[in-house]
């Protein structure tokens, strides 16, 4: 049997379409590249399993370096602007708050290095958020992330604390 | 084509055997159950994608509640003792140190609640570590995990700090 036929049959069996699979694979490849670069830059980083499927809010990547913790939603685009739904930003915020991480959008454009964007720096649109040229110009790089010192409140104060937690 | 044939053909194509798949699936189910319970107990938790395959050290689950961070290696067994290789404990330690988490073994026995074990509390064996009845009796529960206050050194001190980081 041809490999192609087998793949197609398997996709039908799983009730998913191949285009979706291809998108997922491509997304995973970029996520793995970011994981590599995070480790190279001194962060321990993991890809989250089933980040699109879980009924709990969860990001694509979680990383930490012992002093700061990050939750990344990973995006790759051919060009700007990048549009983000209110829903996905809300989930990233919810997870970040519950975990104790800073939520960031990680964006890869062709022939550009990874750039990282805080939720506060995104531009609001009627249906969600946008990263345009202006926002992109303010994106952080790995060096900026390493400089972030996450301040932490004493335990009991922190439990009731729901503001922005770092930077 | 029968579902069974398709699965077998796919497994051969992927060069993996079905028993391994079944183990992985069963392991994943327990990991998802632990994720559920962690959220119920106030921790944001994620399953790590490809935790067995990555060339970076990575645990099965990463969790945090804003004040403490945990890396779990998840195990389910029919009975004690549980044996752990030096290699997997070393990887858990490496990840935990780099991320800034406390490394724990999460163990599920039939009709028992989840118990959590610090690496320091495991018994050394010639080839690795063991959780026997004595160690099991000292296992922590969710309530104990919630009581853990992770102390953090100031940023610059912490960068050169390689000791036990909490409790």
What is the per-residue pLDDT across B90-118, written as a single tens digit (0 to 9) for each?
A: 999 999 999 999 999 999 999 999 999 99
pLDDT tens digit sequence for A7-47: 666 655 554 444 444 555 667 889 999 999 999 999 999 99
pLDDT at A164: 36
Instruction: Answer yes or no: is pLDDT of A154 > 90.
Output: no
Q: How many Cβ pairs within 8 Å bridge chains A and B?
A: 114
Q: Please report the domains of chain A, with CATH numbers, ordered by start residue.
A: 2-151 (3.40.1350.10)
When CB atoms are compared, the residue of B3, B95, B152 closest to A13 is: B3
Asked whether B64 and B72 are in contact (CB, 8 A), the reply is no
Rounded distance, CA B20 to CA B17, Å?
A: 6
* Percent share of chain A, pLDDT over 70: 71
A121 in contact with B at a CB cutoff of 8 Å? no
- CB contact under 8 Å between A152 and B149, yes or no, is no
| Token reading at A123 | 């531009």
Whether chain B has a CB inside 8 Å of the CB on A148: the answer is no
Q: What was the ipTM of the complex prediction? A: 0.77
pLDDT of res. A55 = 82
**DSSP code, position A48:** B
In this structure, the strands spanning B115-118 and B128-131 are: unpaired
pTM beyond 0.90, yes or no = no
Summarize the confidence of residues A63-79 as an average pLDDT.
96
């Amino acid at each position: 049997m041809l490999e192609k036929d087998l793949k197609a049959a398997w996709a039908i069996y799983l009730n998913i379409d191949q285009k979706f699979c291809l998108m997922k694979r491509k997304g995973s490849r970029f996520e793995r590249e970011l994981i590599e670069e995070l480790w190279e830059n001194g962060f321990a980083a993991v890809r989250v399993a089933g980040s699109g499927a879980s009924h709990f809010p969860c990001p694509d990547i979680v990383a930490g370096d012992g002093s700061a913790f990050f939750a990344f939603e990973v995006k790759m685009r051919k060009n700007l602007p990048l549009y983000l739904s209110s829903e996905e930003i809300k989930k990233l915020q919810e997870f970040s708050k519950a975990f104790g991480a800073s939520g960031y959008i990680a964006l890869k454009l062709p022939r550009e290095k990874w750039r990282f964007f805080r939720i506060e720096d995104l531009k609001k649109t009627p249906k969600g958020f946008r990263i345009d040229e202006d926002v992109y110009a303010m994106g952080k790089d790995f060096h900026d992330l390493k400089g972030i010192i996450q301040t932490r409140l004493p335990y009991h104060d922190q439990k009731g604390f729901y503001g922005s937690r770092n930077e």
